[in-house]
Chain A
Amino acid sequence: MSTANIRAASWLPPVEIEPSRPFESKSEVPRELDDSGAGVTGQAARLATLSIWSQRPWALPAFLGGIVALVVVALAFDAADLMGRSFAVSHALGVLVTVVLSVTVGTALKLAFDEMVAVRRLRQIDGLRVEADQLVAANGHGGGLAFTETMARFYGGRDDLASALQSLNNAVTDAHNDGEVVALIDRQVMAGIDQLAYASVLRASRDTALATALSPSAALDVAIVLWRNLKMVREVSTLYGARPGHFGCWRLMRRMLANLAVAGAAESVGHVAADVLGGSLAAAISSRLGQGMINGLLTARVGLAAMNLCRPISFTAENKPTLRRIRNELMSVPKDVL
């Protein structure tokens, strides 16, 4: 009874609309890239509105802010003092110190600006991923074309992706629903980047495996692993269009470590168990090689986590990169070298 009423209210008979009347074209009004911190997932948003957060701890931020302000003021005084003293000694020295000072301040500002851009870029990627996930989950119709345009603008400046974007443009039609559009972007644009990123991760993990196997000291191991990991993360995130700065890389690493620690305890336990077992088998042959293997695998895990974090569209069950192939590649390293 109630369904019949609803139907009567919303039901519309077939109607032919005058062909002369203007109608909207299939493409919706392009939307601006959402960069207003849209990287908040539903759960996080719910968490943020919990009432217990309303009692914000204000003392510590105020204290830290005070210290920073004091240091900045002190530095400014020192700089002014320095300038005054060098002008007192000689005019030329004063000019020189002024130039050096302004260059220092200018580059500091530039670095800070770059970092801000990088952070914004990372947020944009988060926003895109949330949007894509929502489109796939709702699987409605109408949002897909706008999302395609957003993605095309996000990757617009990339020459290497021009042909992929062109073929995406050819493939998407008004008949595809939102889930299909996201799947098409995944296939046409993301798949190519995935391959390059995967190759980069593979290279890094082979490098770390080899280098730590050959290096004489543990301290050198740590340095190598750290440096190579940072380089890899930078490569991967640049491929996906995240372009992180120096601190951005650290941020990314930190998030990845959290990701590695949190992301599905069962999964990581399984992987680590298998990795360590495989490693120990190799270690029986050579403890050095085994150590290298484990370092390589850990690098690979960091790399795969970076791919997951920097990809504007979440991996699906089918195209999720796995450690297995990397492990097989690593197993062939000793064979190739010896």
Chain B
Amino acid sequence: MVTSQFPNWSSLAGVGEKALDLALRNVGTLAGRVLEGNVRLGVTGLRRAGKTVFVTSVIDNLLRGGRLPFMDVVAANRFLAARLRSSPNRETPRFTYEKYLAALTEAPPHWPAATASISQLRLAIRYVPSSSMRRSVQRIATLNVDIFDYPGEWLMDLPMLNQSYEEWSALTLEMVSRQPRRQLAARWLHWLGTASPDSNPDESTASEGAALYTEFLHACRRSQANLSLIQPGRFIEPGELAGTPLLTFCPLLPAGMLYRQNSLWGLMAERYEAYKNEVVRKFFVEHFARLDRQIVLVDVLGMLNAGPAALHDMRMSLTACLEAFRHGRGGWFDRLIGGQIDRVLFAATKADHIAASQHANLRNLLDMLVSEARNAIRFEGAMVDTMAIAAVKCTETVATEHQGRRLACVQGTPLGRQRPTVLFPGGIPDGPDLFPEDVTQPYRFLDFEPPAGVGRDGRGLPNIRLDQALNYLLGDYLA
């Protein structure tokens, strides 16, 4: 527009300059092919936090780009397109995005089953750089985003890396001595009473203990209390390790000093160390090394449904897991693998289970729950933020009158039902008083079916604040 009134006199300078310009551009394009940006996005979350659906929705939305108005690169019209690419890591299975998307979009739609093993996917995003200086060299830039999906149970192995068998046994036994675990572990505790840690290393005793302990872990997972601190994670999601001797150990009462070798205790401790080194360390070195960005998904609403014990458990699990990641400079895990995460986002998932007016309270609650981990990460020099998001939006917020009060409710089809309903799931308080003593079940957040025909408009799966989350996590890479 400016040049239309004021002719660009320098354009008369000659054809040579133009040819040079063109040559530079070609070199730039070539360099751009080679110099592609890479970012490894860690999707962390305890089990049932919604990692798989989150990853599916992120990929679908980036591929279609129609529902991301808060991503700066999309808002500024610099986003060109995204494509799936084959992952550079050949050994890890591919994240079958198509399968999960089909599950969500077919009739009748359903949620993908729980994840049983690790998978990964690479997504290449083509965009126009925002700075004119960079544009003059590289007109179109590419960013490769590597995303992992894995069973949330495995994350709970992470704190074990920093514990010896003795420490781990003591911590687990302390935890089991309290409700609700005590009741669930009754059979294993009985076995523990009979098995002497000083006795001869007997394979059948060991496998009996491990089997009973595994049974206890499964009971924890099934229980109404929605427990998250379930260690070791491979006992319940063994992946490719099912039935190997690596998984035949369990915590024991401490043995006498004389019996540390050549005893049941010795056998268990040896296997614990082997599990740590060959399973846990290998997994995290291979897949969590060099993470650049991390999103921690937290199912706050599920925890509120389950009660104070679950909330406490989740808080402990999160703090324990996050200690291991390297944020900013110098977490202990970093000394093992190297790598640095400079941005972390804590996201309360399934925000569509509550009315939109409650999102602010949900976010405040999450703030409160992760405050310890957040401060630690900030102290290390990484950026931290919190958000209330929903990877797939299944409900509408509607207003109703109920007993003379105006309520903000959600409307959707609850899981396992055919017809939509209007639900007031209980308000999230804005203070720390979460569980009033005089009420037995203060919250009833129902899970919802994916809405029929979701994503059929080709704009990507409907979501809540997925764009803001992505902008926070990837925005500066796409500048």
Contact = CB atoms under 8 A, between A and B. Distances in A.
A141 B9 contact: no
A56 interface: no
A13 interface: yes
Contact of B444 (A14, A142, A206, A210): A14
A13 B69 contact: no
Contact of B356 (A19, A24, A174, A203): A174
A173 interface: yes
Contacts of B408: 141
A23 B400 contact: yes
B2 A174 contact: no
Nearest to B400: A23
A180 B471 CA distance: 14
Interface string B31-72: 000000000000000000000000000000000001101100
Nearest to B445: A14
Interface string A1-19: 0011001100111111111
Contacts of A15: 402, 423-424
Contacts of A167: 69
A175 B360 contact: no
Contact of B422 (A4, A11, A19): A19
A31 interface: no
B409 interface: yes
B222 interface: no
Contact of A177 (B356, B436, B462): B356
Interface in B415-474: 419-427, 429, 431, 433, 436, 438-439, 441-444, 459, 462, 464-465
B420 A24 contact: no
B357 to A, nearest CB: 4
Nearest to A180: B70
Given A3-B433, A17-B409, A171-B69, A199 B397 contact: no
Chain B: interface size category:
35 or more
A177 B359 contact: yes
A191 B75 CA distance: 9
Nearest to B408: A141
A11 B436 contact: yes
A182 to B, nearest CB: 12
A139 interface: yes
A170 B459 contact: yes
Most buried by B among A139, A180, A199, A337: A180
B357 A141 contact: yes
Given A23-B422, A24-B398, A175-B352, A13 B442 contact: yes
A52 to B, nearest CB: 41
Nearest to B432: A3
Interface in A16-33: 16-19, 21, 23-26
A12 B69 CA distance: 35
Given A14-B424, A19-B421, A23-B411, A203 B398 contact: no
A21 B431 CA distance: 33
A137 to B, nearest CB: 14
Contact of B400 (A17, A175, A191): A17
B396 interface: yes
Interface string A156-180: 0000000000010011011111001
A13 B8 CA distance: 71
B398 A26 contact: yes
A238 to B, nearest CB: 16
B75 to A, nearest CB: 5
Most buried by B among A19, A175, A210: A175
Interface in B386-416: 390, 393, 396-400, 402, 405, 407-409, 411
Chain A: interface size category:
35 or more
Given A7-B433, A173-B462, A337-B9, A14 B425 contact: yes
Nearest to B356: A175
Contact of B431 (A3, A175, A184): A3
A17 B439 contact: no
A207 B464 CA distance: 47
Interface string A200-217: 001100110010000000
Contact of A19 (B407, B420, B442): B420
B352 A336 contact: no
A329 interface: yes
Nearest to B397: A174
A21 B429 CA distance: 27
A184 to B, nearest CB: 6
Contacts of A26: 396-399
Contact of A23 (B10, B357, B399, B426): B399
A66 interface: no
Contacts of A188: 69, 75
A239 B409 CA distance: 40
A12 B427 contact: yes
Given A26-B397, A171-B69, A336-B8, A16 B422 contact: yes
A140 interface: yes
Contacts of A12: 402, 405, 407, 424, 426-427
B436 A7 contact: yes
B113 interface: no
A199 B399 contact: no
B399 A17 contact: no
Contacts of A176: 356
B464 A206 contact: no
Contacts of A333: 6
A187 interface: yes
Nearest to B402: A17
Contact of B360 (A177, A202, A207): A177
Contacts of A173: 393, 462, 464
A141 B408 CA distance: 10
Given A12-B426, A19-B419, A23-B411, A175 B397 contact: yes
Nearest to A200: B1
A329 B1 CA distance: 13
A15 B1 CA distance: 60
B5 interface: yes
23 contacts: A4-B436, A8-B438, A12-B427, A14-B425, A14-B441, A15-B424, A16-B424, A17-B423, A21-B400, A23-B399, A23-B400, A26-B397, A140-B357, A170-B459, A171-B69, A175-B352, A175-B464, A177-B356, A177-B359, A177-B360, A187-B75, A336-B10, A337-B9
Given A17-B423, A26-B396, 10 more contacts: A3-B431, A8-B438, A11-B427, A13-B426, A17-B402, A24-B398, A174-B396, A176-B356, A202-B2, A206-B2
3 A-B pairs with the lowest CB-CB distances in the bound complex, closest first: A14-B444, A141-B357, A171-B69
